[in-house]
Structure 1
Amino acid sequence: MIEKPGVVIQVEDQFALVQTLSDSSCQHCVNQQGCGMANLTSMLKPKYGTVKVVNQLAAQVGDQVIIGLEENALLKTSLVFYLLPLLGLFSGAIGYEWVVVMMQWPELEILTIIASLLGLWMGLLQAQRINAKISKDTRYYPVILKKFVLEKCN
């Protein structure tokens, strides 16, 4: 389970919007003064992010929470959104090259590029269709694992 702290900023039915603090890109380096990636991230990346989560603990606006996402859900969605377009790209190029060999057509590189881009586009469309189904399935949403209250220090 991947966990992250945040603050509830809005509640809608069974969902809540949780504002989380963005992490640095690496998290391995304590001294980030000499790291170009940390400097670039701090300039380009917003400091806070907003995540739609399943509000199974009935958290209210202002509550500090720990949200969690199953690694399995992250893995499945990552495979869909990265692998399908890549498979489409390669399938388009390889499919066109196979047709050229089978039909004994002259090989034109520009047509291979067009076929691979067409395959990429088809992969992206399929990923978009799957996203429409996944976005309705709460198993792929992060959930609120626990609410906690920070004690004030005087």
Structure 2
Amino acid sequence: MIEESARVTSVSDKNQITVVSEIKSTCSSCQQVDTCGSGQVAKAFPTKKLALELTCHLPVKVGDHVVLGLSEKALLSTAWQVYCWPLFGLLLFSYFGQWLVSEQLLAHEILAIILGAFGGYLGFTFAKKHQEKSISQKALAPVVLRIEPKKVFVTEITE
């Protein structure tokens, strides 16, 4: 399970909550952040926030920090489909188009290139349709795992 911290911004009476999470740059925790070009670019842009509406059965209040969970298996499966299916379509149709050119069934190689691009588009369309299914969307929906305990700050210690 992949975990992310978020802050509750609203709670409705039907167990619906709205949470906000900051999108963190990968270039913020490295020791070379001050001397690296990517780190400087990451510092230049403001942090972005992502708001989600979720169903939660835990007793949360506005201002609470919660831990959201996302299935790692579902995320990796989706990433594989979105990246690889268009690539496979492109390669397969390009190979087929080149074979048609070598057999002189297509008059010019530009038609083989167009056929390859069409295969990539078909792979993209297939991946998109598969991700629009409700089963795929439910597997990728984040869930509230737990409420983080409130942090206590000590400002003064007396004897």
TM range (shorter): 0.7 to 0.9
Contact 1:52 1:141 in 2 (8 A): no
TM (norm. structure 1) is 0.79
C-alpha distance in 2, partners of 1:16/1:108? 58
C-alpha distance in 2, partners of 1:122/1:113? 14
Q: Which residue of 2 aligns with 1:100?
A: 101
TM (norm. structure 2) is 0.77
Comparing 74-83 and 17-26, the one that deviates more:
17-26
Contact 1:54 1:138 in 2 (8 A): no
Contact 1:2 1:68 in 2 (8 A): yes
RMSD over aligned Cα atoms: 2.8
Aligned length, in residue pairs = 153
Pair 1:97–1:34, CA change in 2 (3 A): same
Q: Which residue of 2 aligns with 1:125?
A: 125
Q: Does 1:81 align with 2:70?
A: no
Q: Does 1:144 align with 2:144?
A: yes
Specify the code of the residue in structure 1 equivalent to 2:94. A
Q: Percent identity?
A: 29
Shift of 1:58: 5.7
Equivalent residues in 2 for 1:1-154, closer than 5 Å: 1-10=1-10, 16-26=17-27, 29-44=30-45, 46-51=47-52, 53=54, 55-57=56-58, 59-102=60-103, 104-105=104-105, 108-134=108-134, 137-153=137-153, 154=155
Q: Which secondary structure state, in structure 1, belongs to the residue aligned with residue 26 of structure 2?
A: coil
Larger RCO of the pair (alpha carbons < 8 Å, separation 6+) = 1
Contact 1:54 1:142 in 2 (8 A): no
Contact 1:54 1:141 in 2 (8 A): no
C-alpha distance in 2, partners of 1:92/1:145? 44
Pair 1:66–1:131, CA change in 2 (3 A): same
Q: Which secondary structure state, in structure 2, belongs to the residue aligned with residue 9 of structure 1?
A: strand
The superposition leaves residues 51-88 of structure 1 with CA deviations (integer Å, 9 ceiling, x where unpaired) of 45553536444321011112101111101111111111
Shift of 1:47: 3.0
Q: Structure 1: 5+ residue runs without aligned partners?
A: none
